[in-house]
Every structure is written in structure tokens, then in C-alpha cells.
Structure 1
Amino acid sequence: MLPNKNIQNLKPYMSIPHDIWNFKNYDNVLKLDWNEATINPSPKVFEHIYQFLNSGKLNWYPNTKNIELLRALSLYTKQDSEDYIEIFGSSDAAHENIIDVFLEKNSIVCIISPTYDNFRARANGVGIKTINFMLDKNFELDFDELNNFLKQKKVDFLYICNPNNPTGVCYDNNKLEQLIINNPKIMFLVDEAYYEFCKKSVQNLVKNCKNLIITRTFSKAFALASFRIGYVISHVDNIKSINKLRNSKNISMLSQIAALAALKDVEYVDKFVEQVATSRKLFLKDIKAFDIRACEQTETNFVLLSMKNMQEVINYLKQNKIFIRNYNHIIPGYCRITIGTVEQMRYLLDKLKEFYER
């Protein structure tokens, strides 16, 4: 039997090889290609994981209704109760659930582009067509044009990554809120994977706006990418619908413990975010010494760059155990670099200098 026609015709999400896992020695490796945190998670995470591993409960299924974690998330996101929150084994898993729950085969889905491409691939993979609304040449979003586009195309569902990946641009929060309020018949999925780096959110709308779903992850600022855990913030009625299909056993107990421990040490996350902001500013200043153009509006832990001989630069850095992301398949001529600590970015700059002075 052949795969269904949706899969046969699908343009897949272009992940990149994770060559780093093939290394036997991780000394001096600088992983700047997947936008993970470049430091370990809070010591509290290690402490709580060790406690669980010694508890003798690895043979149990995970907690399918972790009230303590839900309450911690409701406090962190300033929601009235945990009824506005649900946990998933990554925000990608949440997106898959949302597609299954809220979209029909004939739904008109708009994606603000260029952006993180996994949602598009998943929607297309189940036979749902998507249309793009493109950012301008400076990677900014024209909200007036978008509003007209939504009406003209009779859009049912909109996916927007804010801050956007891979540009790092954080859109005008007031305009985004107004767009959501003024279009109650359109379901808005706002992917806030990088919220911690810009602290701008539409989370205050979920109590009264049933047409809004927010997804977030612990993979970025919280440094828990290996655990694969994320969550949804939305109106209580949407959470109830989501839970009709959600597999509550799919969030491992180790992931839940790690997330809860990380939420008990938000100060640690905030300090890392401050480090990133400092090193990002220095990095954007220092790369001007090279023939490199940057999307300087970024408010995240990454920066989009355009440079001559880009593939040669990528290969040279890889030879020096530094990994960055080629984004030529989505934005021709651009690559993306994760921002780490000041020390890490200085090391990267040294290697860039070596390349350009050869």
C-alpha cells in the first residue's frame, strides 16, 4: 500500500542533520543551530530528576493530570486558574492536536511567512491547504494589509509565530491583540516559543476570546529541549475540546518533573535571558566588522544573517565544531545563529575573523 496522496505530494518540514550526536567528545562544541539554550537548565532540575530516579517509580505511567504543574503554569502565565492551561509533549505536539481538533478539510489556513515551517507541513500532511501572508522586505508585518487579506480570502484559521522564527522580530502586541478581537470568527494560533526573551504576549485575552490559542515551550529559555514539553494557554472551552483528543500519557514523568522544577527557579531563566540580551547586542555590533547583514530587530536568542560565501562559512565553522543553521531553503541567502553567552559569542566571532582573514 502506498502512502496517501497528501503524504505523496507533501513538501516536508526541512529539519537538519543533528551531527553533533555522533560526536564522542563534546569538548569545545558550540551548538548554535536549533535555538536551544546554550547552558544547562537550573540546578533544581537536576536535583528533582535525581530524586525521581531514586524513587523506584520508573515502571509507572506518567501523571496524566499534574495539578501541581498546571497550577505553577497558571501562576507563571497570570491566568485565573489551571483550567486555561494544558500540557503537551512539546509545542509541536500541541500544534498537531490543534490541527486535528479545530480544522476541517476545507478550512482556509493562513500562515504569516516566512516562519517556522512545521505547522504548515503538519496541516498539509492531513490534506489541509495553507496560504501565506508575506512579511515585508524588512521582515515586518503590515497589520492593515493582513486584516484586508483575511477578509478577502475568508480565512478560518491563522498561524503566527511571535516573536517570529527565523527573523526574531516581535510584532506590535497592541495591533495583534486588536486583530484578534476584531476577527472573532477566525481562530488565531499564536506560537510564543520565544516569549521569555521579549516578554510580549496576548495571554491576557484568553479569558474572553474563544478564538485564541497560545502555545509555548520549555525547549528554549528554560533549557529543557531534550525533555520535549510545552503547553497551551486558551479559553476553558477550547481546553475542553483539546482534551477530547489529547493523549495524556504522552508527557513523560521526567519531563513533568523537569518543567515543574524549572518553574520553581524562574530567576535562573531570567538571568540567562539577560545574558542573551547582552551578548546579542555585542554580537550585532561586532559583526559589522565583517561583510554580514543582520536582522537587527531580533528580540530573541537568535539572529538572522546574510553573508557572502555563506555555505563556505557554515562549512568552516562546522570544521571548528560550531554549528549554525542554513535557512537558504526558506529565505535565500540567509542563515540563523543562536545567541549564547558573551564568552560563546566571542569564540564564534574569533572563528569568523579567522575565516575572513584567510
Structure 2
Amino acid sequence: MDQLAVPAADVAQARTDILAWFDRHGRHDLPWQHPATPYRVWVSEVMLQQTQVATVVPYFLRFLARFPDPVALADAPQEEVLALWAGLGYYARARNLHRAAQEIRDRHGGELPADLAALEALPGIGRSTAGAIHSLGQGRRAAILDGNVKRVLARWHAVEGWPGRSAVARHLWALSERYTPAQRCADYNQAMMDLGATVCTRRAPRCPQCPLQARCRARASGQPESWPSPKPKRDRPLRQTRMLILQQGNQVLLQKRPPTGIWGGLWSLPEADMDKTPERHAEAIGLKVDTTAHWPRLRHAFTHFELDIHPVHLKVSGAGQQVMESDTLWESIHETGTRAVAAPVARLLQQLREHTP
């Protein structure tokens, strides 16, 4: 039988069961639910991409305390936005959030648009995020398909294939549209996300607690974890870089990365070619090297590659006139914790602080 040709009565019963489960077991006290404004829903949805709720909550509270509305976010310098995002990773999310806030300020009167297409046109807002804003924040019917919902639907209907493939994604979207109700749409969408997060988990799903257990094809197979199909494995290339911890007295040299690309817009440590000695790099920018210490290698995983960082701590002296450009600065070692830096750089700076009186 066509998986989309589900009888209307079965669709209605599934919705009823899901909503009844949500009323008793769903999450009702998440900070972005009180109040569930379009802005608060938007920020939470962006933060929750690739990130667990427990990690997001403190970031969300700090972010909203500083940027309570789109205009406050739009008016802030990007560096301050990135500083409050530091540690969440996937920094393109923060840059897009900031750019979208500026478009909302300049083109939409400071309010998120109520039109789905207009929402999707904003930087960093895809179809599912737009649907979440539209339903959870604006009280209108819209389907969603985040990672949790994909997993629930893929198991419920035993949808074959990796959801990242366009044909599989289209199938899951069609299912999501089929089941999303006109009434209580926000509760239904939250219920589906909660089911995926707390019951239909990636590993060891708690099928006996699921309101869909009697109709779930994956459970009937006896191997619910077989759905959805995993992403095809690809070897991630390994790259190398040398980071220089240039210390002069109680200051360390920081360098701002380009606005786009890996760690775009964040402060970092200067990098040197692996085939060039650290001392030569320091001397090239007008610094005299007094001592050199090679710290243990640090490996950092990105989505598409892994990076081996080879930190070198150099105590230097001299004016270093050539480094005083707009994208570099000497920062007090004990104040580097306030800068927007990537996680591995933060670890190196923390190590430096611990060893600097």
C-alpha cells in the first residue's frame, strides 16, 4: 500500500494519540515556550540544530537576556553575537542569525514575517525552521521535519534510505504534511519533536512508551534502530595547522579570522605553515623569540574533515609593528575568556591562563 495513502480515519486517530501523549508526557517547560514568540522560537530552533536541549538552555537564556528582540540583535556588532555563541559551534548559524535579524529590522519592521516563503528567504532559515516559527511561534499550520521528526516518521512507516537523499527527504516531507493537523498544530509539532528526543531515540528507543507502537512498522520488524538508514560513511581527510601562542609579558597575540569560512569572524591564534619554523614566522612580523615550547597536538573534528592543531608557545619581545593591523591585537591573557573564539582555541588560551601568573 502507498505509504501516503493512509485512510483519513487512521490519520485522525494517530494525531489524537500523539496529542494525548503530548498532554501527559511532552515537554511543556522549555524556556522558549514561555512565551513562545516567533523570535524566541526562531533563536531556539537555530541553537538546537546539531545541539542537545540541555546544552542550549543556558546559551538561550544568556542570548535572550542580551538580545531580547530582533532589533537588539540586529543592532549589535557581530563580534558580540559570536562571543555569546562561543562554545555552541557551527558558527555560521550565529552569523546567519545576525544577518537575518538585520533583514528583519530593515525590511520587515523589526518583526519576523508571517509568510512562510518570506521566512524561508531569510539567511539560515530552511523549510523546517520556517515551519517551526510559523506553527510554534505564530499559531499557524505548517509542517516541520527536523532530525527528531525524520526519525519518528522513518520508523513509523519504515521509510528506506538515508534522509539526506533528496528522494527520501521528499517522501518524509510528504508524510509530515499528511499528518500535520490544522488544529493544535503547535502542540502536534512539539509532540513529534519530543517523541524523537525522549522516546524514539537514536539508540535504545523506548517503544513501549510510544503512542505509535501499535502502528509502527520498524517496531513490528523487531529492529527499530535499523531506521532511518545511516549516512553513507566517507573518510574524513586529516588536515594540519600550526597555531602560534605568541606571549609578550601578560599579553597574547590574537588574530581575527575572515568573515566567512571555518570559524568565520572569530578571534583565533595566528597560524603558520607547517614547513616554516615558528621562529621565522614571529621574526617576519617584527618579534624577537626568547623561548619556544611545543605543546601536545590537539585534534578537532569538523563535519567534513579533521584538523590536527600543533600549538607552539613562544615568549617574544619587540615592538612587532607589522602585526598591529585591524585584524590583530595584543590581549591581556587573563581577559581572553571574553573573546569569541572556537572551542580548541579556547582550550589553548585556558591552558595559557593557567600557566601565567
Name the TM-score, length of structure 2 as normaliser.
0.31
Which has the bigger relative contact order, CA under 8 A and spacing at least 6? 1
Q: Which has the higher helix share?
A: 2
Name the TM-score, length of structure 1 as normaliser.
0.31
Greater CA radius of gyration, 1 or 2? Answer: 2
